[in-house]
Amino acid sequence: MKKKKSIEVKTQTVGRNRRNFLKVSGLALAGSSLLLASCSDDDDSGNMMGGGTFDLGTGDVGVLNYAYALEQLEAAFYTNVVNGSFYASASADEKAILLDLYNHEVNHREFFKAAIGANVPMEQQLTADLEFDFSSVDFGNRDSVLGTARVLEDTGVSAYNGAGQYIQTAVYLTLAGKIVSVEARHAAAIRSIINGSADYTAFAGDDIIDDNGLDLAASPAEVISAAGGFFVTPFTYNNPGA
Amino acid sequence: MNLIKFLDEFTTDKMQEPMTSRRAMFGQLGSLGKKAALAAVPFGLATASNKAMAQSTGDVVGVLNLALTLEYLEDEFYAMALDSGVLSNNAKAEAIYMQISKHESQHVDFLTAAIEGAGADPVAKPSFDFTVGGTFDPFNENGAGQATAYAQLLALAQAFEDTGVRAYKGQAANLMGSAGVLTAALQIHSVEARHASEIRRLRGLEGWITGNERGAGMPAATQAVYDGATTEANIIQGGLDVTTLGSGSPFTMDAATQAYDEILTGDEAVTIASLFIES
């Protein structure tokens, strides 16, 4: 077994990176409380590593846990938005969209909780109680809430698109497909209401769709480093491929 | 490769068995008239030639050719829409159609290159009839008037985009083991979903699908887009009833069906596309 190379970002840098994360479109930044490891051929399938850090696992187990982590994040964010009575200037249309997104993401979260509970050995199950840090989000501010929603939805799309190749069972791949297209519908709606008449093409803008007409796809390492600022509970995803 | 021959060979699922559902489908589409029934050529061919299961699971080129057929349809539709002048008084709709048109054109080029790269022949571009034998007049060519044409132009776009999302999703499992192709197909799939969301919102609907509702203003003939062997109203995901996983608004029928898009089989996608294919 090769030695793991872990990159641990110190806590004091997290705040700054989290702010940057919100400025950038979502996939460029490193910086988080996560341990990002590489160069491991460890074949463990989701477990506690020596240091007590949970690894999401490999193959189907890894993708299920990965999706569960992202859905927990999205659901926690929209729960804060909804429980905070939205931002003061939210229109009825915006509230309706955000409430729908809350409903969908909570349903996704509970689906993965149940699916993992039924199909993954106990010691390989990601905790249902990931902790998040949303201190970088101003829940009273439209730009902050919608900007964060855009990053989370675009990141969700890129994550599912990038992880499809690691799924080994057809039914799980189809399930991921059922969810990712809803995330893409969300992303388009959020981008559309952010930009309004300033840019009617933002729903599938040139900033995210490439010259082949392809959407974002990102590796787990890219996604975790982009969204990592929100995760308080550390975990790794060392070997997505089986 | 000839389109009809391709469609004939693309018989993934039990073409012989579901005669009743096929009849039901014809009944549903009855309002489109005889032309629509005649347009559904693949049914007849598949039944006659008895080539059920001709497409084996994992036929990557077959999947790509199905995708290319759907992209040809969308590409030509948006190009004709932009040429028709029906959108010229609506800056928002025109900008949205231009962006989508660009993507569909890119998808045609990308899939063509991918099929050729695999050493196979891309299916030939069919001749399309977006009026479905005069039932619609989306380009205002036959005197429907600007308002009617505009409404039909948006309704057809919604039908094509929601079909595209479901069709790509239905083929993903056939691409397992071809990581590069699968990832690209997923990347097209989510672009179609972004398109679908925007067109639906342009029409005054939500970006997501509730139950198997086609939504206000959609012609009854488009109901097939939301039905199928697994309808958009499905609530059983991976064997779990997703209305029972908790309480409150996330677990209502509405939320639970909106939160998951469903697949169309290859045959179902071909059937819908065939309504608009002359030859």
Question: Is A154 inside a domain boundary?
Answer: yes
B104-157: pLDDT as tens digits: 999 999 999 999 999 999 999 999 999 999 999 999 999 999 999 999 999 999
Contact flag B197-A108 (C-beta cutoff 8 Å): no
A76 lies in which domain range? 5-236
Question: Is A241 inside a domain boundary?
Answer: no
- In angstroms, the CA A46 to CA A159 distance is 19
Question: Is A242 inside a domain boundary?
Answer: no
In the structure, what pLDDT confidence band is assigned to residue A208 with cuts at 50, 70 and 90? very high
Contacts with A23 (C-beta within 8 Å, 6 or more apart), sequence order? none
Question: Is B150 inside a domain boundary?
Answer: yes
Phi, psi of A209 (to 5 degrees): -100, 125
ipTM of this model? 0.84
Question: Is B253 inside a domain boundary?
Answer: no
Query: CB of B45 within 8 A of CB of B7?
Result: yes
Structurally, chain A folds into a number of domains equal to 1
Question: Is B198 inside a domain boundary?
Answer: yes
- In angstroms, the CA B85 to CA B41 distance is 32
Strands A47-48 and A235-236: unpaired
Nearest beta carbon to residue A203 from set B104, B170, B194: B194
Question: Is A16 inside a domain boundary?
Answer: yes
Question: Is B241 inside a domain boundary?
Answer: no
Query: CB of A181 within 8 A of CB of B259?
Result: no
In the structure, what pLDDT confidence band is assigned to residue A119 with cuts at 50, 70 and 90? very high
B214-268: pLDDT as tens digits: 999 999 999 999 999 999 999 999 999 999 999 999 999 999 999 999 999 999 9
* Tokens coding A227: 């969204």
Nearest beta carbon to residue B207 from set A162, A185, A201: A185
B-chain CB neighbours of A212 within 8 Å are 106-107, 109-110, 184
Number of H helices, E strands in chain B: 10, 2
In the structure, what pLDDT confidence band is assigned to residue B17 with cuts at 50, 70 and 90? very low
* A191: closest CA of chain B, how far (Å): 10
Question: Is B211 inside a domain boundary?
Answer: yes
- In angstroms, the CA A15 to CA A56 distance is 25
Structurally, chain B folds into a number of domains equal to 1
Angle between helices A170-195 and A92-119 (to 10 degrees): 160
Residue B63's CATH number? 1.20.1260.10
The region that residue B215 occupies, defined by phi over 0 for left and psi between -120 and 50 for alpha, beta otherwise, is left
Contact flag B173-A181 (C-beta cutoff 8 Å): no
Strands A54-55 and A47-48: antiparallel
Question: Is B279 inside a domain boundary?
Answer: no
Contacts with A154 (C-beta within 8 Å, 6 or more apart), sequence order? A25, A26, A27, A187, A191, A208, A216
Nearest to A239 by CA among A34, A1, A46: A46
Total beta-carbon pairs less than 8 A apart between chain A and chain B = 200
Three-state DSSP at A35 gives strand
- In angstroms, the CA A100 to CA A139 distance is 17
Position A51 scores a pLDDT of 59
- In angstroms, the CA A93 to CA B165 distance is 25
Position B124 scores a pLDDT of 96
* B33: closest CA of chain A, how far (Å): 33
B194 lies in which domain range? 3-229+263-274
Position A4 scores a pLDDT of 37
In the structure, what pLDDT confidence band is assigned to residue A225 with cuts at 50, 70 and 90? confident
* Tokens coding A17: 């990176």
Three-state DSSP at B226 gives coil
Query: CB of A202 within 8 A of CB of B92?
Result: no
- In angstroms, the CA B227 to CA B216 distance is 16
Question: Is B238 inside a domain boundary?
Answer: no
Question: Is B58 inside a domain boundary?
Answer: yes
H/E element, A48: strand A47-48
Query: CB of B92 within 8 A of CB of A200?
Result: yes
* Tokens coding B258: 């909106």
- In angstroms, the CA B55 to CA B46 distance is 12
- In angstroms, the CA B172 to CA B185 distance is 7
The mean of the pLDDT values for chain A is 84
Query: CB of B235 within 8 A of CB of B257?
Result: yes
Contact flag A189-B182 (C-beta cutoff 8 Å): no
Residue B195, Cβ neighbours under 10 Å: how many?
Answer: 30
